[in-house]
Amino acid sequence: MPTPGSSFTHQDNVALENEMNTKHAEQIQTIQAEQAVQEKALLEEAESRFHTKTAE
């Protein structure tokens, strides 16, 4: 509910909420991409260690 003298409308609130949701979705996608890179690096390291051990 707008306060007296406030120029915000329901549409403004919806627009702000949509903008925040978009930013949160982008942040989640960035975090997921970073996690995928980290997981791949860990898997590659584990595979490398496994192959080194089996070659000994």
Sequence ranges of the domains in the chain? 26-56
Q: Kindly report whether the global pTM for this prediction surpasses the value 0.75.
A: no
pLDDT value of residue 54: 86
| Three-class HEC string of the chain | CCCCCCCCCHHHHHHHHHHHHHHHHHHHHHHHHHHHHHHHHHHHHHHHHHHHHHHC
pLDDT value of residue 2: 54
Q: Assess contact for 2 and 9: CB atoms under 8 A.
A: yes
